[in-house]
Amino acid sequence: MRTSLPVVDHDLLALLRTDLIAARFTVTGVTEVLGPMASAALAREHRLPAERVTAESTDPCAALIRLFALGAPVDVSDVVAALPNTGIDGLLALRLARLEGDGLVATCDLRPYAADEHTWWVASDLSEIATGEPLAPDHVLGIGGASTTLAAWTPRRPVRRALDVGTGSGVQALHLSLDADEVVVTDLSERALAYASFNAALNKVSWDIRRGSMLEPVAGETFDLIVSNPPFVITPRDGSVPLFEYRDAGGAGDAVVEDLVVGLGAHLEPGGVAQLIGNWEIPRGTTWRDRVGAWVQRSGLDAWVVQREVQDPAQYAETWTRDGGHHAGTGQFEAMYAAWLDDFASRDVEAVGFGIITLHKPQTDREPFVDLMDVRGPVGPAMGATIAAGLDARVRLAEMTDDELLEVAWAAPTDVFVEHRLSPGSSEPVDVTVTQGGGLRLRVALDSYAAAYVGVADGSLTAGQALTAIAALLDEDESEVRERVVPILRYLVANGFLID
């Protein structure tokens, strides 16, 4: 049975905000009440440690955790103590809870969410751990791993118009509201848009909310920033696997991500950026670069794509069968697992990639750049700044001749180190690599010319001056040294190893 949706009542929401702040129902407050173990377990979708901690606590925040995150019945007196201004009547009028015996039971999930110094609350459907039941097809997801990945990788700058495609409960739009004069959000799900309206009102922001499929509701409109955590999951379409609105857009294979990538060019202002995440299929005998490269070429946009993960069809099937609430060993699990394997086999798919796609509309009439990187290891925590700086650097490089590149006095930032690997007893390095501490945490091997240049890149000489001196010192032809160093110099500038 679907629960009712929350109601927007601005006066009651003002009282609720006051209560939530006073009860310290914030990310910090919740983490303090739960402690590290129960917090981590809850993030892994295990409720028992959080249940134990909150059952023993008299903190009003603990009552709210039990009510809204664990879906447990909470005594009316405890709810009144935690939400004295809203009261039981207010909570019922907002349709956030219903009476059951002597207690109240939440009708939706409500959690604090924070980024940098901002705190919000996000309502969504009760999770599987709260209801103990499989998710409904129109389930509205709370904040998941993909949501926080996209939020962390989105470059943040003041913009006029921003768009969130497939907004769900509106988490990306909350971020957009910090930097955009106008935020448009779209979703196909009526239920999701009801939560988005509620969350906008609860957090005192205003969005232009539109129902429709993907980019259809914004036909003919352009934006400075577009974000999307689309329903990108690749699901068999033969009816053997239940479809969920939050993860299945309806097309076969990875068509939803392809269509989005190809379609975004028409909706970006010159200089505008689109940031999205998604899956792509890798058919046998091809590479992810072939597939995603073809998509971005059709988009006509600058593209920087970072592949973060690759799964084989079996791993992919296991991940998404479990996500749907099914466990290995049951007949249903095995049937769905088989359907996924058959579906991938029908397109000869050998692997599925996951990654982050950054698209940019050039402001000048030049060839778009395409940079497809495979970076599977750990990266820095706030990648938005890395994407913003990397995009600026790539745009600059795309508009810079090699001579102009060599006229700049590049310098390495403080988190960049040159490592010389030596055999014991020898002072001649076996190899030289340059590493960075933040961002993509890249590590790149340098040849002897590039190593000599990076070793002196402290901003005192232009690259051209340094390469002239290095060629003379090594008694090498200067034009050959330049030719060898320029491509790696472009890579190092694009990726923040060298700045000016």
Ligand X SMILES: C[S@@+](CC[C@H](N)C(=O)[O-])C[C@H]1O[C@@H](n2cnc3c(N)ncnc32)[C@H](O)[C@@H]1O
Rounded distance between C-alpha atoms, residue 492 and residue 450, angstroms: 10
Among 214, 261, 412, 488, binds ligand X (CB under 6 A): 214
Among 71, 231, 272, 353, binds ligand X (CB under 6 A): 231
Closest CB to ligand X among 192 and 209?
192
- Listed in sequence order, the residues at least 6 apart from 160 whose beta carbon sits closer than 8 Å to its beta carbon are 180, 181, 182, 224
Size of the site for ligand X (CB under 6 A): 25
- Listed in sequence order, the residues at least 6 apart from 77 whose beta carbon sits closer than 8 Å to its beta carbon are none
Per-residue HEC secondary structure of 424-462 comes to CCCCCCCEEEEEECCCCCCEEEECHHHHHHHHHCECCCC
Among 106, 159, 249, 339, binds ligand X (CB under 6 A): 249
Min. distance of Cβ 415 from ligand X in angstroms? 30
Closest CB to ligand X among 105 and 129?
129
Contact string 145-184 vs ligand X (x = CB under 6 A): -xx--x---------------xxx--xx------------
Radius of gyration of the chain (CA): 26
Closest CB to ligand X among 154 and 386?
154
Is 225 an interacting residue with respect to ligand X (CB under 6 A)? no
The CB density around residue 493, as the number of other CB atoms within 10 Å, is 22
Is 187 an interacting residue with respect to ligand X (CB under 6 A)? yes
Looking up tokens 């202002």 gives: 269
Is 481 an interacting residue with respect to ligand X (CB under 6 A)? no
DSSP single-letter state for residue 266: G
Is 124 an interacting residue with respect to ligand X (CB under 6 A)? no
Min. distance of Cβ 182 from ligand X in angstroms? 18
| Interior/surface letters 452-472, b for 16+ CB within 10 angstroms, e for the rest | bbbbebeeebbbbebbbebbe
Asked if residue 469 lies in contact with residue 461, where contact means CB atoms within 8 angstroms, the answer is yes
Is 416 an interacting residue with respect to ligand X (CB under 6 A)? no
Closest CB to ligand X among 78 and 245?
245
Among 21, 22, 188, 409, binds ligand X (CB under 6 A): 188
Min. distance of Cβ 378 from ligand X in angstroms? 22
The CB density around residue 183, as the number of other CB atoms within 10 Å, is 28
Q: Give the residues lining the site for ligand X (CB under 6 A).
A: 141, 144, 146-147, 150, 166-168, 171-172, 186-189, 192, 213-214, 229-231, 245-247, 249-250
